[in-house]
Amino acid sequence: MIRRDLIPTHRALRVWVRHLIQYRSFYLAEWAGNFGEHFLYLLAFGYGLGRLVPSLNGLSYAQFIGPGLVVSIAMWTSSYESTFGAYSRMRIQKTYEAMLSAPLSVGDIVLGDLLWCATRALIGSILMMIVLMIFGLIGSFWAVAVLPIIFLEGLMFGSLGLIAAGLAPNFSFFSFHFSVVVMPMFFFAGTFFPLKGLPPWMQAFSEMLPLTHAVRIVRGLIIYGHADSFVWHLSILAGCTIVFMMAACAAVSRRLVD
Amino acid sequence: MFFLSAYDIDTQGLTKSFGDLKAVDGITLQVGKGECYGVLGPNGAGKTTTIKMIHGAVRRDGGRLNVLGMDGTSHSREIRERMGLVPQEDTLDNELTVYDNLWVFANYFGISRRQSRPRIEELLDFVQLRDKWDSQIKTLSGGMKRRLLIARALIHKPQLLVLDEPTTGLDPQARHLVWQRLRELRRQGLTILMTTHYMEEAAQLCDRIGVMDGGRFLVEGAPRDLVRERVGEEVLELRGVEKEEVSGALDGLAIDAEQAGDTLYLYCTNGAPVMERLMAAGKRDFLRRPATLEDLFLRLTGRELRE
């Protein structure tokens, strides 16, 4: 039987509010930094490196890579928040301990953290999309439909990060999480180069990465305003997210309740 | 699950093990409404584990645990809605100001920002931190942090307040301020359960105490009665004297003698005749004083170091 305290309730929003209050003190500096970073990324890869890349199905390299960057920024932001951020709240600042002495449960804390990871992923991606807009790389009004997809992606990587935070004996454990979980998806999910034409084993590997499916939906929506096999990709994303969320609850509970 | 009980905390045969270690070994603890109960015990006695079971951070292995008339496991959330906890470790939100700490915590209880405002002002006055409301946590002293933790635990007007070593590490001024505040809360009718290392603290604040060691309660009762029954009224301390040297001189008097290092402790009901005999035997270097909880504690739990 599933323990009652692992099932999240609406109280998760109270955890989310705490994170938001804390965010108030540094968001402006972060937004400015992120914006500049995104700008440089697009210039260097899209236009610098892009000069060497032939047209891909009629798309310039900047057009191709823009949506890929939107998706990877969401992944990185959510992964940082759920590993280093959550670990520090769990083990160093004892923020979770305080929450558990109030009427919040492990499930509320996990869901609250995940909502927050997804919120930050969303903010990072929106900033990137603004940069894309400035460069004229958004092809359709339907690009706004990527926002819920990005939020879902944020929940998914937040869950993976919380699993790592629950298992981690110290901060250095996270370099393992980033090299085994985050980096392979960063490089092989079709973000920087098309998967078509890769050796079959590499294509098969890429198909197994949940990020690949996010990239396909987001690229389709941003450039053309629609995505092929939308329901299929979305089901994979949602399915992975639910499974990872349950694992995250179990991993965090292991750390918080004796 | 709800039933009427005279006790706000009511446990029977409560146990918890960590691996081979029996941290809490079948304790019965009953704290009445409006009572202030102190749990004394050396490090590792099981005090903190007991407190953690009461507020649900540790799940019990066995026994009965009722808090505020509700089962400790199935109604953990409802219990926490009506109890306040002051933890041993500082769990304040270091990234928020004093005021934000309190309102964010009020929000955990579902109290809105507007509703919480007057309560926060009242509490900051109560713990004398009103002028610090906009300060960062890292700029506060240890005593201020502890007072803020107490204010935080009271934000939702709990019926039961549980404190784990509320004054450990504080200087005397800060400690006395915390004591005053706790006495005030007791007057207001709050039920209080606290652990402490400080005998004076227990003697000053608690209606009843229990001495815990090895996961069990050794004795329980009103501090004064316990000292009188278990130790006596007075203690004479003799430095540099062995038990054998004075045993002849003290023959026939109802006293308990205990040797510890270079000191001989004599526990008795009336110190006057003992003193006369000692003087007659030529032992003039001694200290006569009233028996305290500390004597009781050391007699019960021994004098070897606990780490």
**pLDDT tens profile A8-31:** 999 999 999 999 999 988 889 989
Tell me what pLDDT residue B300 has. Answer: 84
| pLDDT on residue B1 | 45
Q: What is the pLDDT of residues A90-115, one digit of tens each?
A: 999 999 999 999 999 999 999 999 99
Per-residue pLDDT reduced to its tens digit, A166-194: 999 999 999 999 999 999 999 999 998 89
- Nearest CB among B94, B104, B153 relative to A93 is that of B94
Facing A103 at nearest CB: one of B91, B93, B109: B109
* CB < 8 Å to A17, chain B: 104, 107
Mean pLDDT taken over chain B: 90
Question: What is the distance of C-alpha B262 from the center of its chain?
Answer: 30
Please compute Rg for chain B using Cα positions: 23
Q: Quick one: what percent of chain B has pLDDT higher than 70? A: 96
In B147-176, the residues whose Cβ lies within 8 Å of chain A are: 153
Q: What is the pLDDT of residue B4?
A: 60
- B7-221 belongs to CATH 3.40.50.300: yes
- All residues of chain B having their beta carbon less than 8 Å from the beta carbon of residue A106 are none
For B279-307, write each residue's pLDDT tens digit. Answer: 888 888 889 999 988 888 888 887 666 66
Taking residues B266-282, what's their average pLDDT? Answer: 86
Average pLDDT over residues B224-228: 90
Interface contact flag, A100 B52, Cβ < 8 Å: no
For residue A160, pLDDT over 90 is answered with: yes
Interface residue A99 vs chain B (CB under 8 A): yes
Domain map (residue ranges) of chain B: 7-221, 232-290
More confident residue, B4 or B222: B222
> Distance, in angstroms, between B244 CA and closest chain A CA?
51
* Residue contacts between A and B (CB atoms, under 8 Å): 72
pLDDT value at residue B170: 87
Q: Is A103 in Cβ contact with B93 (below 8 Å)?
A: no
Beta-strand ranges (E) seen in chain B are 7-18, 21-32, 36-40, 62-67, 70-71, 83-86, 160-164, 191-196, 208-213, 216-221, 234-239, 256-260, 263-268, 286-290
Q: Please give the pLDDT value at position B71.
A: 92
Report the chain B residue with the minimal C-alpha distance to residue A17: B104
Question: Which residues of chain A have a CB within 8 Å of the CB of B153?
Answer: 101
Q: What is the mean pLDDT of residues A185-212?
A: 92
CB contact under 8 A, A22 and B95: yes
Examine the pLDDT at B3 and tell me if it is beyond 70: no
Asked if A256 has any chain B CB less than 8 Å from its own CB, the reply is yes
Question: What would the pLDDT profile of A60-72 be if each residue is shown by its tens digit?
Answer: 999 999 999 999 9
CB contact under 8 A, B107 and A18: yes
CA distance A110 to chain B (A): 14
Does A22 contact B at CB distance below 8 Å? yes
pLDDT of residue A19: 96
What is this model's ipTM?
Answer: 0.89
* CB within 8 Å: A100 and B56: yes
Contact between residue A256 and residue A96 where contact means Cβ atoms under 8 Å apart: yes
> Is the fold of B7-221 the same as that of B232-290?
no
CA dist A105 and A124 (Å) reads: 29
Instruction: List the single residue in A4, A100, A102 with the smallest CB-CB distance to B109.
Output: A102
Give me the pLDDT at residue B252, please: 72
Query: From the CB of residue A64, how many other CB atoms can be counted at a distance below 10 Å?
Result: 23
Distance CA B126, CA B181 (A): 8
Q: Which CATH number fits domain B232-290: 3.40.50.620, 3.40.50.720, 3.30.70.260, 3.60.110.10?
A: 3.30.70.260
Q: How confident is the model at residue B205 (pLDDT cuts 50, 70, 90)?
A: very high
Per-residue pLDDT tens digits for B110-135: 999 999 999 999 999 999 999 999 99
B298 CA: distance to closest CA in chain A (Å): 31
Percentage, residues of chain B above pLDDT 90:
58
Q: Cβ of B139: how many Cβ atoms within 10 Å?
A: 10
Q: What local confidence, expressed as pLDDT, does residue B230 receive?
A: 87
Instruction: Say what the pLDDT of residue B307 is.
Output: 60
Across the beta sheet with B191-196, the strand order is B83-86, B160-164, B191-196, B36-40, B208-213, B216-221
Cβ-based contacts of A18 with chain B (< 8 Å): 93, 104, 107-108
